[in-house]
Amino acid sequence: MKNRIALSEIAHAAPAAGGGATDPALGLLPVWKLSDLYAAKDAPAFTADLKQSETDALAFENKWKGKLAEAATKTGAGGIGEALKEYEALDDLLGKIGSFAGLTYFSDTSDPANGKFFGDVQSKLTDISSHLLFFALELNRVDDAVMDACMDRDPTAGHYRPWIVDLRKDKPFQLDDKLEQLFLEKSMTSASAFNRLFDETMAELRFDIDGEKQPLEVTLNMLQEADPAIRAKAASALSKTFSDNLRVFTLITNTLAKDKDISDRWRGFEDIADSRHLANRVEREVVDALAAAVQDAYPRLSHRYYAMKARWLGVDQLNYWDRNAPLPETPKAVIPWETAKETVLSAYGAFAPEMADIAGRFFAEEWIDAPSRPGKAPGAFAHPTVPSAHPYVLVNYLGKPRDVMTLAHELGHGVHQVLAGGQGALMCQTPLTLAETASVFGEMLTFRTLLEKTKDKRERKAMLAQKVEDMINTVVRQIAFYQFERKVHMARKEGELTSQQIGELWLSVQGESLGPAIKISEGYESWWTYIPHFIHSPFYVYAYAFGDCLVNSLYAVYQNAAPGFQDKYFELLKAGGTKHHSELLKPFGLDATDPTFWSKGLSMIEGLIDELEALDKELG
């Protein structure tokens, strides 16, 4: 059973209160209401559910432990189907409790009360989960032929066939029951503890800008300011604070890399990323082909684009902090929240009214947290919670054009999560490689809608440039991150790494991916420290490149598709975790195992750079 409380795949969250915050330039920014889950940390319903989950878990263990082989021979009462329904109900309940605890904690990790609440609930859920751990292990010990016959004979068991088939892929890497229980219980004082240390450290970091202490999100946002002096100050502040805290980030990185190495060794994984590939239900060869294709395209994508941008900004080389600097043609007006909302919903509605209807619920029913504020986690995410509830979306909205794209991205996740929820708690979760499909597709719909409305050629140039940069950040940057992680985890096998060694590995992959037009100067060696994916979800990052390239190919099909594309697209999203990527892509004529698949996806980025270059020549 997945320990949902860790929230490891979605990063962070924000406050439990509903309502909103008014900003003079942005308008009323919504704050979500976690009361849809529970009214408060001490709400009677929360206390009752926590107690009920413990009672139900013990009853489930007493009822089914040691009896699954016999249950596999029965149909109906006392059969595997009945056990799976009870297990799924428990998974949903524990997921709801864990989501509430985690989201409340991440609203302000500096609040000791939130930290205690999170820790206590996490401990309780770990204890409860230990009573359920036997189920997957024992189920995997049932003979394959007996299990196949059970699923064929019993419609209820057959309903869960995709989950059972996926579960049996884990079988070669599972340990005996006692060791699995030890791994589960020790996770609180190993990986989970260092994840929490990272989150609390990041939340408390402040960056000195002209004497004012700013949080991470605000400081990172300054790297997109038009004034180069502001960008330089932000970069300097980031480098200083990251460097001042290198010891703790180096300790966290070393500890988690070693912890993963121990787990991989005991479970028998051959490659350092194989556990992630298994979780993503994607073959190592497919990921290797993706990484190789992107690396081969560095000169045609990032190197070429940044050389063009340096020329536009009148320099031979861009400072590393100018990588996402706006072009002079970029509109400087702040985009109010209502405009961003209308932009995204309009783009979604033009594709499919149902998509806009689902996304609209996030606004109407207060499922979004938008303001940027002290204590709130940086970045953005969509958290699915559980099928019996609904997803939540967090953004730090500051009115930039990229913030609109981020909103479109996260709402794409949200729509996907709502649609996949129909599969139930066990089968709704989409592997990360496909989890980015709807989000990136939502971004593309929004971008294309805005681009079509933009008639001014200079504004069009700025929009194309920003989209190219976002795609480079999603594809090139994330594969560079993946290669960095590989180098760190491989080097850690030989011994503990110093901050300098980790910094050198970081600079090596950054220099290769960004190219000669980016000047990597002193200070940048510590910028690996703030990437949460390295901490929460090792090797998560290639999923972004996978999703972007996949969507580029999917969008090309959409542009030339006959009627019915939208229906097939919704079926893909509704499938959740019930189908392999090959099965889901087949109706679109796409195959990620085809060696040319990734080249097709990358060619769309190259085509946008071609279009941008032609437009630049036209403008003189």
Which tens digits make up the pLDDT trace of 456-476?
899 899 999 999 999 999 999
Classify strands 207-209 and 212-214 as parallel, antiparallel or unpaired.
Answer: antiparallel
- Is 445 a member of any domain? yes
Which tens digits make up the pLDDT trace of 476-529?
999 999 999 999 999 999 999 999 999 999 999 999 999 999 999 999 999 999
Give the range of the structural domain holding residue 352, as residue numbers without chain letter.
337-465+553-580
pLDDT of residue 9: 36
- Is 386 a member of any domain? yes
Cβ-based neighbours of 418, under 8 Å, separated by 6 or more: 358, 361, 390, 391
- Is 255 a member of any domain? no
The segments of the chain whose pLDDT lies below 70 read: 1-20
Domain end marker among 146, 167, 192: 192
- Is 520 a member of any domain? no
pLDDT of residue 436: 86
Cβ-based neighbours of 369, under 8 Å, separated by 6 or more: 13, 14, 15, 30, 31, 32, 376, 392, 393, 394, 395
Domain end marker among 192, 213, 230: 192
pLDDT of residue 486: 98
pLDDT of residue 6: 38
Number of domains composing the chain? 2
- Is 380 a member of any domain? yes
Domain end marker among 192, 211, 240: 192
CATH number assigned to the domain comprising residue 572: 1.10.1370.40
pLDDT of residue 3: 37
CATH number assigned to the domain comprising residue 46: 1.20.140.70
C-alpha pair distances (Å), 557 with each of 567, 570, 571: 14, 15, 16
pLDDT of residue 472: 96
- Is 558 a member of any domain? yes
Q: Which sign, positive or negative, has the C-alpha torsion 530, 532, 534, 539?
A: negative
pLDDT of residue 135: 96
d(CA 411, CA 345): 10
- Is 586 a member of any domain? no
pLDDT of residue 15: 32
pLDDT of residue 19: 60
- Is 266 a member of any domain? no
